[in-house]
Amino acid sequence: MKTKLFSFVLMFTAIASFAQQDAQYTQYMYNTVNVNPAYAGTRGALSIFALHRTQWVGLDGAPVTNTVSVNTPFNNSKVGLGVSIVNDEIGPSTNNSISADISYYIPVSESYRLSFGVKGTANIFNVDVTKLNPGDQTDPEFQNIDNEFSPNIGAGLYLHSHKAYLGFSIPNFIETNAYDDNEVRVYKEKINYYLIGGYVFDLNSSIKFKPTFMAKMTEGAPLQLDVSGNFMFNEKFTVGLAYRWSASLSAMVGFQISDAFYIGYAYDFETTELDNYNSGSHEIFLRYEIFKKNSKMVTPRFF
């Protein structure tokens, strides 16, 4: 009975990992470099970003994600560089990845630039079956996966001005599998396709409004569509709502503490039956930026 229960839980974990694939973010508009390498350097500053997300609070084994990234333009050239580290835990599985990004932009008009980017990623995947309390921990069918390494590459395009952006990216071109000692597949990472966009409207001298969207397409999984709308007041305080199609509704707030520091928080309300088993999801991030003297932002703080 315990073995059957463990098999069911492990199967559920594999399905959850398969369905979610890349870590998901409610405040994706501030974390673009994680999914699109062409974003690196486009803010015209050394940008340091850290995010923590706790999903489905109260549900055992729910996803917990930590992200740290740094991106910057390279000297005075058209090149951007970036590095990202992501720690993603789901049930007994942990996926750690480190990515390096390089981008290059060309001006396409007086207002718009088109950036091209490539991403190289190293993934380390672990499964600790002892967290599931299997009936027989010596059973060869239920062995740990320890530090399984897989490399990947990705690419992206990012068209942007000081008011608008549109991007398309594939962060991972290579499908990867993880196996136990008996070559039973417990995890498969599929290729994810991202389309993102947003526009900043100046409603008056002190209020800006930015609608955004992100669509994620994965073979064998439903289309994931996120839409959001944020208001910024006096370039200091931001408040908005986001909706993930057939999944959740989110409230977001942010504050520009100083020219260098920006902090943001989001709370997700589930709109599915999972709402009966958890108390929502929390996401908080901090961004720190260093600008050169007498330089101006390529894009507004809004994205």
The bridge status of strand 176-179 relative to strand 164-170 is unpaired
For residue 228, pLDDT over 90 is answered with yes
As given in the structure block, the two tokens for residue 279 are 């108390």
Distance (Å, whole) CA 91 – CA 126: 11
**115: which 2 tokens?**
């950036």
The pair of structure tokens assigned to 293 is: 């003297």
Instruction: DSSP for 35-82, please give it.
Output: T-GGGTTTTSSEEEEEEEEE-STTSTT--EEEEEEEEEE-TTSSEEEE
At 3, the pLDDT band (50, 70, 90 cuts) reads: very low
pLDDT at residue 219 tops 70: yes
Query: Lowest-confidence range among 22-36, 70-84, 131-145, 165-179?
Result: 131-145
Least confidently predicted of 120-124, 138-142, 281-285: 138-142
Task: Give the per-residue pLDDT at 144.
Answer: 73
Q: What is the mean pLDDT of residues 150-162?
A: 95
Is the pLDDT at 1 greater than 70? The verdict is: no
pLDDT at 138: 58
Average per-residue pLDDT for the chain:
85
3-state secondary structure of 222: coil
- Asked if 27 and 51 touch (Cβ cutoff 8 Å), the reply is yes
The beta-strand segments (E) located in the chain are: 46-54, 64-73, 79-90, 93-107, 113-127, 145-160, 164-170, 176-179, 185-189, 192-199, 201-202, 207-218, 224-233, 237-244, 248-256, 261-270, 281-290
Residue range 90-135, pLDDT digits in tens = 988 899 999 999 999 999 999 999 999 999 999 999 888 777 765 5
Q: Is the pLDDT of residue 224 over 80?
A: yes
Q: Which range (55-64, 124-133, 278-287) has the least confidence?
A: 124-133
Q: Is residue 183 classed exposed, middle or buried when 0-12, 13-18 and 19+ CB atoms within 10 A define those classes?
A: exposed
CB–CB of 286/262 below 8 Å?
Answer: yes
Helices assigned H by DSSP within 226-281: none
| pLDDT tops 80 at residue 298 | no
- Which pLDDT score is estimated for 142? 60
Tell me the C-alpha to C-alpha distance, in Å, between residue 136 and each of 11, 12, 179, 273, 276. 17, 19, 19, 33, 32
pLDDT digits (tens, 9 = 90+) for 184-213: 555 567 889 999 999 999 999 999 999 999
Mean pLDDT, rounded, for 136-156: 77
* pLDDT band of 4, cuts 50, 70, 90: very low
